[in-house]
Amino acid sequence: MTQKQYDISITSETNYIPEQSSPEGMRYVFAYTITITNSGLMPATLLRRHWVITDANGKVQEVRGDGVIGEQPHISPGESHQYSSASVLETPVGCMQGKYEMIADDGIEFDAPIPVFNLSIPNALH
């Protein structure tokens, strides 16, 4: 198998933050850490993000913006960029997915899909 020119992989880790949450107020706060790895041959810069956040009631929030947490990281082949952020839901379970819009050093723009990941309070999902 030949290595791809543009190949960005994304992994996630999530945590429920009970001290910032208020279940009686329908407020559930989740922290997430994203690792973006450049497995391709070409360095690339993350330009924009697009998140689709869905709660257990089917309510969808879309978040778009430049970069991630105020940064537009440039990621060389074999390197990773990691950052943490948070999301607030009205339900104890939900999910996030989306894409990062990237531009390679050769000027080619491409999307790096963010696989869906769950947000859930402990023991909510088995």
Share of the chain above pLDDT 90, in %: 93
Nearest to 29 by CA among 80, 88, 77: 88
Q: Residue 3 pLDDT more than 80?
A: no
Q: How far is CA 103 from CA 18, 48, 98, 106, in A?
A: 38, 10, 17, 8
pLDDT at position 63, please? 96
**pLDDT classification of 124: cutoffs 50, 70, 90:** low
Q: Which CATH class is domain 8-118?
A: mainly beta
Place of tokens 């009205």: 90
pLDDT per position as a tens digit, 35-76? 999 999 999 999 999 999 999 999 999 999 999 999 999 999
Pairing of strands 80-89, 8-16: unpaired
To the question of pTM greater than 0.85 for the whole model, the response is yes
Boundaries of every domain in the chain = 8-118
Terminal C-alpha separation, the chain: 36
